[in-house]
Amino acid sequence: MQVDHVVCAFCGCDCDDISVTVEGDRITKAGNACVLGKSWFLSHGTPSDLPVARIEGRPVDLDRGIDEAARCLANARYPLIYGLSSTSSEAQRKSVALAEVLGGCIDCCTSVCHGPSGMALQGVGEPTCTLGEVKNRADLIVYWGSNPAESHPRHMARYAVTPKGMFVPEGRKGRTVVLVDVRPTPSARAADIFLLIKPGKDFEVLWALQALVNGQKPDVTSMEDTGLTYDQLTGLADRMMGCKFGVIFVGQGLTQTRGRHFNTSAAFLLVRALNRHTKFALIPMRGHGNVTGVDNVLAWQTGYPFGVNFSLGYPRFNPGEYTVVDLLSRGEADAALVVAADPVASLPAKAVRRLTGIPLIALDTHESETTRSARIAFTTSTAGIHVRGTVYRMDNIPIHLRKVLDSAYPSDEDVIDRLLARVKELKAC
């Protein structure tokens, strides 16, 4: 059986044109998907033999797992909920409700990737657009500190570089592509212009570009250690001001290097200045399939996009205090619920030591370092393969996920909903 218009929820492109072939109880083909998407469909579309719940490695039934996990969370003084970037927005919404009832912290993968973009957005505003506008209008594409050829393999072909658009009928020939990075990456081969800047100099380059766009003349000598010549800088500024519709896609090369949210603020301010000359926008290259969704869900429910604390009964936001690495490294969190993420494999060693030393509950569709280290692990079904749901594409457009296979496992939303109900009962006692 072939199912068309299926969404690949692996990366922030959330491509919704995948043709999935189902044979029996498994997915055997994922037409149109890139290599990452194919791997996601084939691995998640294969039956698993993991138990639905485990306590210290021993299989238990779902009720027992829920009860034990709810007790761990309800008894904690400062519980943490973390992850949520690869699950549905329905599950994210329940997780916010659980964090509020627990009076703990909720943080998502944003705090270790595009958190600085969220802070910059709140500081200076976000001049942005949709990927549909990029496809139909953009004649200048700037990738800054991102490598879409490897991280988002269909981004260039589906949205930004080669597609023919309403006002870009020539497709690739009608666009200029600029890549700014600290090293040549495979994406450089697709660029017309590659600008190699020195590590940690993004802010200086962005600020100088903003000055040029505002009609000022930055000090030539101050540009010497950025890696770019003055002519390269003025050439880029002229090209930006002279295009009809330009877009900067920023990656973690900008947000997770020296300057962080100052870098992204400088990029937003550059785009704001460019809009006095032409149409320009900026879109963060969000990694996981629904990491944009968790920012949206948290923001509409609490006002803040990540690192939210409920210990006083109302939401508070303070990156560096309520964010996962900081909470764990300082030894503050005393129980953790991790949903659809693998922090044990990705966070700094000090944070991982704390995470694996406290009662850890993990929900995931497959075995990971985190589920292996968890005191209580739940196996859940995959949103977009086994259950419907909603994800947000990197340009904040909600996309509805289809179901293509049945699963014996509950969804993340089901498990979190049951945890929420049980925690409420325990707190009422």
11 binds ligand SF4 (CB under 6 A): yes
Distance in angstroms (rounded) separating the CA atoms of residues 327 and 222: 38
27 binds ligand SF4 (CB under 6 A): no
Q: Which is nearer to ligand SF4, 200 or 398 (CB)?
A: 398
Q: Which is nearer to ligand SF4, 197 or 383 (CB)?
A: 383
Q: Which of 6, 27, 33, 178 binds ligand SF4 (CB under 6 A)?
A: 33
245 binds ligand SF4 (CB under 6 A): no
Q: Are strands 176-181 and 140-144 parallel, antiparallel or unpaired?
A: parallel
34 binds ligand SF4 (CB under 6 A): yes
List, in sequence order, every residue forming a beta bridge with 49; answer none if it has no partner.
Answer: none
37 binds ligand SF4 (CB under 6 A): yes
Q: Which of 8, 84, 161, 271 binds ligand SF4 (CB under 6 A)?
A: 8
Phi and psi (nearest 5°) for 217? -120, 105
Token representation of residue 355: 């995470």
CB contact set of 419 (below 8 Å; sequence gap of 6+): 66, 69, 70, 73, 98, 337
161 binds ligand SF4 (CB under 6 A): no
Q: Which is nearer to ligand SF4, 76 or 401 (CB)?
A: 401
154 binds ligand SF4 (CB under 6 A): yes
141 binds ligand SF4 (CB under 6 A): no
* Region from 58-66, 149-157, 268-276, 366-374 binding ligand SF4, contact rule CB under 6 A: 149-157
Least separation in angstroms between residue 173's CB and ligand SF4 is 23
Least separation in angstroms between residue 130's CB and ligand SF4 is 16
* Region from 31-39, 119-127, 296-304, 325-333 binding ligand SF4, contact rule CB under 6 A: 31-39
Least separation in angstroms between residue 34's CB and ligand SF4 is 3
14 binds ligand SF4 (CB under 6 A): yes
393 binds ligand SF4 (CB under 6 A): no
Token representation of residue 90: 């329905």
Number of residues that bind ligand SF4 (CB under 6 A): 13
Which residues, numbered 181-200, are part of the site for ligand SF4 (CB under 6 A)?
none
Place of tokens 């991790």: 338
* Region from 29-37, 75-83, 210-218, 404-412 binding ligand SF4, contact rule CB under 6 A: 29-37
291 binds ligand SF4 (CB under 6 A): no
268 binds ligand SF4 (CB under 6 A): no
13 binds ligand SF4 (CB under 6 A): yes
Distance in angstroms (rounded) separating the CA atoms of residues 71 and 59: 18
Distance in angstroms (rounded) separating the CA atoms of residues 187 and 303: 36
Least separation in angstroms between residue 7's CB and ligand SF4 is 8
16 binds ligand SF4 (CB under 6 A): no
Least separation in angstroms between residue 291's CB and ligand SF4 is 12
Evaluate whether 110 touches 369 at the Cβ level (below 8 Å): no
* Region from 3-11, 159-167, 176-184, 242-250 binding ligand SF4, contact rule CB under 6 A: 3-11
Give the residue at shortest CB distance from ligand SF4: 37
Q: List the one residue out of 264, 299, 259 whose CA is nearest residue 283.
A: 264
CA atoms within 13 A on the CB side of 6: 29
Q: List the one residue out of 342, 378, 386, 416 whose CA is nearest residue 90.
A: 416
Place of tokens 């049945």: 406
36 binds ligand SF4 (CB under 6 A): yes
Give me the residues that bind ligand SF4 (CB under 6 A), please.
8, 10-11, 13-15, 33-34, 36-37, 152-154
